[in-house]
């Protein structure tokens, strides 16, 4: 199944010894845009952490970008994360270096050595998020929306097979949220697969996509009517 990017079958998600979600069965295919919704404390973060290797999948089966989650070894996690682009709510940019250096840091950490290729890649991802003029600026000189665009650019650096966006608009005002959403929608139209955890229902109405809801320890698909 070359088009399946994420598949879980009867999976149970634990945080330590606490069962957070049970009997999770779902599939995300290449090119999908999928929302993950649910109240605070419903398990969205635990779900995301399981996908990028922060929490171990102890029960059930699951595979993400061709990595088997139950048998995932500590040494595999950096390689798994290279095939995933993770975008967090709080940007996680390094404030003591400018935008270009933030992106260069990630590329060097993942094995890039050629200076020209590094520069070209940085220019490419900044252009894709409409931030090509901001490379010399420091994160604290940018607005929240601009910082989140840089965080999305960082997630694109290693051409991920799946972008995991964990509440990417959680710290942003409604107008800026829409701007960030437009960036994500545009990336999806260009073929990127995106799973986005959110509690912003206005975005779901404005940009209807497949939606998974977490409720009372279960995950189920919400049928949305297209506008």
More confident residue, 201 or 124: 124
pTM for this entry: 0.92
Helices 144-156 and 99-109, axial angle in degrees (round to 10): 30
pLDDT at 189 over 50: yes
Q: Residue 130, CB half-sphere, CA atoms under 13 Å: how many?
A: 12
Distances (CA, A) of 191 to 18, 37, 159: 37, 23, 11
At residue 185 the predicted structure's pLDDT band, cuts being 50, 70 and 90, is very high
Query: Which phi and psi (to 5°) does residue 145 adopt?
Result: -65, -40
Q: What element of type H or E holds 81? A: helix 77-82
Determine the pLDDT at residue 224.
63
pLDDT band at 1 (very low <50, low <70, confident <90, very high): very low
pLDDT tens digit string along 136-145? 999 999 999 9
Q: What is the DSSP string of 142-206?
A: S-HHHHHHHHHHHHHTT--SEEEEESTTTTS-HHHHHHHHHHHHHHHHTT--EEEE---HHHHHH
Looking at residue 91, its pLDDT comes to 86
Domains of the chain: 4-13+22-96+159-222 (3.40.50.300)
């Amino acid at each position: 199944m070359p088009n399946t990017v994420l598949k879980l079958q009867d999976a149970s998600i634990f945080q330590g010894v606490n069962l957070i979600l049970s009997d999770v069965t779902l599939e995300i295919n290449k090119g999908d845009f999928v929302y993950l919704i649910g109240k605070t404390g419903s398990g969205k973060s635990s779900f995301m952490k399981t996908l990028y290797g922060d929490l171990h999948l102890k029960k059930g089966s699951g595979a993400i970008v061709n990595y088997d989650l139950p048998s995932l070894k500590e040494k595999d996690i950096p390689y798994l994360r290279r095939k995933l682009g993770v975008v967090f709510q709080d940007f996680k940019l390094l404030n003591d270096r400018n935008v270009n250096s933030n992106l260069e840091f990630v590329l060097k950490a993942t094995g890039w050595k050629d200076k020209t290729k590094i520069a070209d890649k940085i220019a490419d991802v900044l252009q894709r998020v409409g931030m090509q003029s901001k490379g010399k600026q420091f994160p604290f000189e940018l607005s929240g929306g601009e910082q989140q665009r840089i965080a999305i650019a960082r997630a694109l650096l290693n051409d991920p097979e799946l972008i995991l966006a964990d509440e990417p608009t959680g710290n942003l005002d409604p107008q800026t949220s829409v701007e960030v959403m437009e960036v994500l929608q545009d990336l999806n139209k260009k073929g990127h697969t995106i799973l986005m955890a959110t509690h912003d229902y206005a975005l779901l109405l404005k940009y209807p996509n497949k939606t998974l809801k977490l409720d009372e320890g279960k995950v189920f698909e919400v049928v949305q009517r297209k506008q």
